[in-house]
Structure 1
Amino acid sequence: MCRGDDELAAAPANQPPAQANNPVELIPEDLTDDNVSELGASIASSSTSVSSSIFDFRVENGRTYHRYKDGKYNMPNDERENDRLDLQHNLFLLTFNNKLGLAPPNDADSKVKRVLGTDLSPSMPQFVPPNVKFEIDDLEEEWTYSQPFDYIHSRTMNSSVSDWKAYFKKGYDHLTPGGYFELQEADLFAYSDDDTLKADSALSKCTDLMYEASVKLGRPFQKIPPLVAIMEEVGFVDVRMSVFKWPSNSWPKDRMYKELGIWANENFCNGLEGFTMALFTRAHEWTREEVLVFLTSVRKDLNDKSIHAYWPILDTGSIGPVTTMPSFRETFGDFSPTMHGVIVSSVLIPGALSALVSGVMADRFGHVRLFALGAFIYGCGTGIECASPILGVFILGRLIKGIGEGMFLSNVYVQVSEISPARIRGIMTALPQFAIVTGIVTGYFMCYGTARFGLSTVAWRLPLAIASFLGFLFSLTYWVVPPSPRWLLAKGRPDEARLIVERLGLDEKEGEEMLELSSDGEHDPNAPVLEILRQAFAGFREAFSAPYRSRTFFACFLLGMQQWSGIDGVLYYAPIIFTQAGLDGEQATFLASGVSALVILGATIPATFLADKWGRKTSTILGGTLITALMVLMGSLYAAGKVAGEGAGKWVVIVSVYLFAIVYSGTWAIGIRTFLVESLPRKTRSSASSLAQASNWFANYVVALITPVLISKSSFGAYFLFAGCSLFTTIVAGFIMVETRGHSLEAIETRYEEKNTKAASNGKKDGLVVTRVRSVV
């Protein structure tokens, strides 16, 4: 199935890379030394019958080639090539710190039970361990294995696979739940960061000719980074790419890369004839002598230390999040990618629906009761997830958790805004966002640690148990946080409202403005619970009626467009961007997830304390302008093809991702939320904020749905889409937003009423032109 030193291996897939620490079946060390590639029994024990025709090699230009499926593999299979493959095997070991790869089955304490290797020709090692066997087979044919594999290891298959998607699909279909697929490939083209490798050099001409020949022969060399999207399309999750470098010789100063360069030079120089002879004679119709003469110049470039060339070596692996960890799969079994999507998104829709009705429920019961109840429901749902014995119960827990999350998220901001003095309302309204970001950081590092528990269900149950505890703890705020004075006035309890005003420390003017409120038009305080649904729809109708509709539409627009800035979409794909920069898998994941979370937290802290130092409108416009510029920059670099190479483009993208997270966290994440609750009228504040929160959740769902499609279809399309949405939002905000910083909620509402009165006198109402049409019967 795999050629040369490639393997299709069955091994326990216990945890994601760098997370395997539980022992598996041990095998005597002298039989499992990966540094030795020839041990054990002979190929005659293979389960595939080896006929004499398979040993009838094709002799061409002094080299031998496979005859079975002739032409699928353009490298020779003679002893010279086998020696080079042994050298290359050790070069890979040196690259991966004496391991075959980065997936858990390659860790020192993870010993394989059985290994199956495949090849198109019988050029495998003569002696192998007793738990290893080889078969003569073609990986592009139908896979007929009776049992799935825990680990599939594929190396240097470039130009041998005609349909990568079909190859990945076969691998996906033949993996056990939580198994791993690892792909190790080299880029055909050499690169130099200082332009010492010229386009007209013999080395550059050689790789160009090799690519042209592969196209003519119907098996073109493939760029490796785009394979990530193909693996994800097939169904693999959390696909990560790590990039290493093999220098052309010992030119680097770094000791490790100098050693790699010595070995790589030996590998390239010894294999140069095998790399090119079949390609050049078959596709370009060169003679053997012409090839050998040309290769003299190529070897000269390879040995020239003034040419700082290198080849990218890319290790691409599929590993799993919590729902694909072996401990999770061990409990709930395997499920399809569609079911995986259902599990992940099951919290979203009930959250959006509960957010819709929580506004009118808050008018009836108060915001404090609602977010305390929501936190309690969240704790119950997460507790059910933690204790679930089967997948159906786990999904039920997520549905319940979503209901609770929608209830408290849509009420916390309103409650905080209504009990905060105008002078510090920005800081107070930003605190929930600060708490959310802190939770993200804590959650990441907590899961990073619990994953070390391996197959034990503690690995995924412990984070859920802690989240459940925090939900119940948060519900205790009902006995700590005072109700809103505005809600007490609306319920006809002015004496209690006056006491709360005094406790909150509002200044005399702001307190008087608040206590002069009328409770006219509020929902019936004695309405039965079943009446809430009818009142919810009535509240929505009122929110979209004059003179409130423009502010309701604008609130829904702003919170929805928060998601269309690309905050979730870009950060989700940050690991892929970082691995393309040459970082190994675990390092890239840590930088893209852990460090990104720390960066967001670092930006949120000063933004929280400075929230009342600059205007909401100013932060929205400035933030939107910077977000648009960063998105255009990243999209332009992708469109120009500057990210896939080894230049500065990819590093600019990485820095831009961090800057984007900083700008968004310091402006839109805080300023828009604060403006929203300040700008909504008291009468429809609960209903309109619920609608806006639901708009955010639905937009999040759509963005999450289309972002993978956009990334797979175009490397830059998603960035330009997010840039366009951010620019449009910024322009709209510039025309419509009014500054609310430093004003009481009552003063803000008065300003809107005066604005509507003035607009109505000019033939407009609620920001819309009023057109009177006479009805003719």
Structure 2
Amino acid sequence: MAETSTQEQTTASCPSANVEVDTSYENDSSYGDELSSYSASLTSSVLDYRHENGRRYHKYRDGSYLLPNDESENDRLDMVHEMCLLVLHRKLYLAPIEKPQRVIDLATGTGLWAIDFADLHPQAEVIGSDLSPIQPTLVPPNVKFLVDDIESEWAYERNPFDFIHARYLAGSIKDFGRLIKQCYRSVKPGGWVEFQDWDPYPISEDGSLNGTALQKYYDEVYGAFEEAGYVVRPGPKLEEWFKDAGFVNIHVEKFVIPYGVWPKDPHLKKIGAWAQAGAEANGYEAGALAALTRFKQWTKEEVLVLASKARADGRKRDIHMIFNFYVVYGQRPEN
């Protein structure tokens, strides 16, 4: 059944070549100038960012991602990268891959994961795709970045990957099941797909989060994301989506991420410090501004007050907030 489904999807994504020709281009000496102009307009559409409430957002597929892409947000994403490395004891991935030749990092953000992977596997061609071209230009020779919307139809089935990686897509994808099925079709038989993602609704084992401004912040913000159609809590559902897509040898690991330095365990204390540092780097504002002002009719000032109160609660040592973080990987069957 999996092979039949894959063939159907491949055929559907490769329509017949009934493309009408623009005859005005034929025998036109100005074709080169026209091509340059058209290419420039495409580039402009990607770089013409949206500015709103003092933050900068992507313009390509405008509105499909609700967090900013400015320097402050990029710094926060780099902090999250370091925190994830701490959680996984400096490992970039947990899947048992061996000598991958072709790899893609979905929604790569600032590109640090793709760059680190390219350094670790110099024999591999590594692609990082994202809605925003915010990645550095000085990168290893075996990595390249593409502007792409991973929720659109892919064209990778003809040249599939050995390994597909995705991390921190919570709140940015509307149909995870479809996305993971696209991963299945675009990975080689025997290849691996790994998603690392959150259940970003926090909990406290001692009830210290109940009734706080922190709890109100997450309820309001994630409620807005969910009303807008985004999947906010992908982590606990990843295993089910992997099974539905047809993957085998599925492995699930759940990690606890505390917020702040209140844990006694030194390793968890360090992770908690990075989690708090990321949120303190304008993370509260970044997560709330677009969702609440676009979909819940909040004013910018109301959002900033909510974020300020949440930040203040986050600094209280008697509030013991934790998140669950999931790493799920699976293999496409050899046959």
* Partner Cα distance (1:70, 1:237) in 2: 36
Q: CA deviation at 1:301?
A: 1.5
Is the partner of 2:46 in helix, strand or coil?
coil
Residues 34-70 of structure 1: CA distance to partner in whole angstroms, max 9, x if unpaired? xxxxxxxxxxxxxxx9611110000000001011111
One-letter amino acid of the counterpart of residue 81, structure 2:
H
Cα distance, 1:290–1:109 mapped onto 2, change above 3 Å:
closer
Residues 499-531 of structure 1: CA distance to partner in whole angstroms, max 9, x if unpaired? xxxxxxxxxxxxxxxxxxxxxxxxxxxxxxxxx
**Backbone CA RMSD of aligned residues:** 2.1
Residues 79-110 of structure 1: CA distance to partner in whole angstroms, max 9, x if unpaired? 11111111111111111111212123479975
1:261 equivalenced with 2:262 (yes/no): no
Give yes or no for contact 1:168–1:231 (8 Å, CA) kept in 2. Answer: yes
- Name 1:202's counterpart in structure 2: 213
1:123 equivalenced with 2:114 (yes/no): no
Give yes or no for contact 1:242–1:316 (8 Å, CA) kept in 2. Answer: yes
* Partner Cα distance (1:274, 1:181) in 2: 29
Give yes or no for contact 1:91–1:263 (8 Å, CA) kept in 2. Answer: yes
Residues 407-460 of structure 1: CA distance to partner in whole angstroms, max 9, x if unpaired? xxxxxxxxxxxxxxxxxxxxxxxxxxxxxxxxxxxxxxxxxxxxxxxxxxxxxx
Q: CA deviation at 1:164?
A: 1.4
* Partner Cα distance (1:301, 1:112) in 2: 47
1:83 equivalenced with 2:104 (yes/no): no
**Counterpart selection for 1:287 from 286, 291, 299:** 299
Alignment of 1:129-278 (within 5 A): 129-145=140-156, 146-198=158-210, 200-270=211-281, 271-278=283-290
* Partner Cα distance (1:160, 1:85) in 2: 14
One-letter amino acid of the counterpart of residue 256, structure 2:
K
Give yes or no for contact 1:99–1:107 (8 Å, CA) kept in 2. Answer: no
- Name 1:97's counterpart in structure 2: 89
1:309 equivalenced with 2:301 (yes/no): no
Is the partner of 1:195 in helix, strand or coil?
coil
Q: CA deviation at 1:192?
A: 1.2
Q: CA deviation at 1:219?
A: 1.7
Is the partner of 1:166 in helix, strand or coil?
helix
Residues 318-341 of structure 1: CA distance to partner in whole angstroms, max 9, x if unpaired? 148xxx5xxxxxxxxx31xxxxxx
User: Which of the two has higher C-alpha Rg?
Assistant: 1
* Partner Cα distance (2:269, 2:232) in 1: 27
| Structure 1 unmatched runs, 5+ | 1-48, 325-333, 336-777
Higher helix share goes to which structure? 1
Q: CA deviation at 1:295?
A: 1.2
Alignment of 1:144-543 (within 5 A): 144-145=155-156, 146-198=158-210, 200-270=211-281, 271-319=283-331, 334-335=334-335
Q: TM-score, structure 1 length as denominator?
A: 0.34
Give yes or no for contact 1:248–1:303 (8 Å, CA) kept in 2. Answer: no
Percentage of matched positions with identical amino acids: 40
Q: CA deviation at 1:311?
A: 1.0
Give yes or no for contact 1:119–1:136 (8 Å, CA) kept in 2. Answer: yes
Residues 211-237 of structure 1: CA distance to partner in whole angstroms, max 9, x if unpaired? 210122222413422231121111001
Q: CA deviation at 1:127?
A: 2.1
Q: CA deviation at 1:268?
A: 1.5
One-letter amino acid of the counterpart of residue 189, structure 2:
P
Residues 618-642 of structure 1: CA distance to partner in whole angstroms, max 9, x if unpaired? xxxxxxxxxxxxxxxxxxxxxxxxx
Alignment of 1:752-771 (within 5 A): none
* Partner Cα distance (1:95, 1:50) in 2: 39
Give yes or no for contact 2:172–2:230 (8 Å, CA) kept in 1. Answer: yes
One-letter amino acid of the counterpart of residue 291, structure 2:
L
Give yes or no for contact 1:153–1:183 (8 Å, CA) kept in 2. Answer: yes
Cα distance, 1:197–1:112 mapped onto 2, change above 3 Å:
farther
* Partner Cα distance (1:227, 1:126) in 2: 33
* Partner Cα distance (1:174, 1:239) in 2: 17
Cα distance, 1:50–1:97 mapped onto 2, change above 3 Å:
farther
Residues 710-767 of structure 1: CA distance to partner in whole angstroms, max 9, x if unpaired? xxxxxxxxxxxxxxxxxxxxxxxxxxxxxxxxxxxxxxxxxxxxxxxxxxxxxxxxxx
* Partner Cα distance (2:231, 2:198) in 1: 14
Instruction: Please list every run of at least 4 consecutive aligned residues from structure 1 whose deviation after the TM superposition is greater than 6 angstroms.
Output: 106-109
Give yes or no for contact 2:259–2:320 (8 Å, CA) kept in 1. Answer: yes
- Name 1:72's counterpart in structure 2: 64
Is the partner of 1:139 in helix, strand or coil?
coil
Q: CA deviation at 1:78?
A: 0.5
* Partner Cα distance (2:120, 2:81) in 1: 21
Is the partner of 1:186 in helix, strand or coil?
strand
Is the partner of 1:173 in helix, strand or coil?
helix
Residues 154-187 of structure 1: CA distance to partner in whole angstroms, max 9, x if unpaired? 0111122111121111100111121111101121
Alignment of 1:659-678 (within 5 A): none
Residues 454-475 of structure 1: CA distance to partner in whole angstroms, max 9, x if unpaired? xxxxxxxxxxxxxxxxxxxxxx
One-letter amino acid of the counterpart of residue 239, structure 1:
I
Residues 120-164 of structure 1: CA distance to partner in whole angstroms, max 9, x if unpaired? 111122321110001111111111123110000101111221111
Cα distance, 1:203–1:289 mapped onto 2, change above 3 Å:
same
* Partner Cα distance (2:313, 2:234) in 1: 23
Is the partner of 2:47 in helix, strand or coil?
coil
* Partner Cα distance (2:121, 2:306) in 1: 46
* Partner Cα distance (2:216, 2:228) in 1: 18
Higher relative contact order (CA 8 A, sep 6+): 2
Is the partner of 1:104 in helix, strand or coil?
coil
One-letter amino acid of the counterpart of residue 163, structure 1:
D
Give yes or no for contact 1:240–1:319 (8 Å, CA) kept in 2. Answer: no
Q: TM-score, structure 2 length as denominator?
A: 0.78
Is the partner of 2:86 in helix, strand or coil?
helix
One-letter amino acid of the counterpart of residue 81, structure 1:
E
- Name 2:103's counterpart in structure 1: none
* Partner Cα distance (1:288, 1:108) in 2: 42
* Partner Cα distance (1:107, 1:241) in 2: 25
Higher strand share goes to which structure? 2
One-letter amino acid of the counterpart of residue 251, structure 2:
R
1:59 equivalenced with 2:51 (yes/no): yes
* Partner Cα distance (2:289, 2:330) in 1: 35
- Name 2:24's counterpart in structure 1: none
* Partner Cα distance (1:187, 1:60) in 2: 28
- Name 1:400's counterpart in structure 2: none
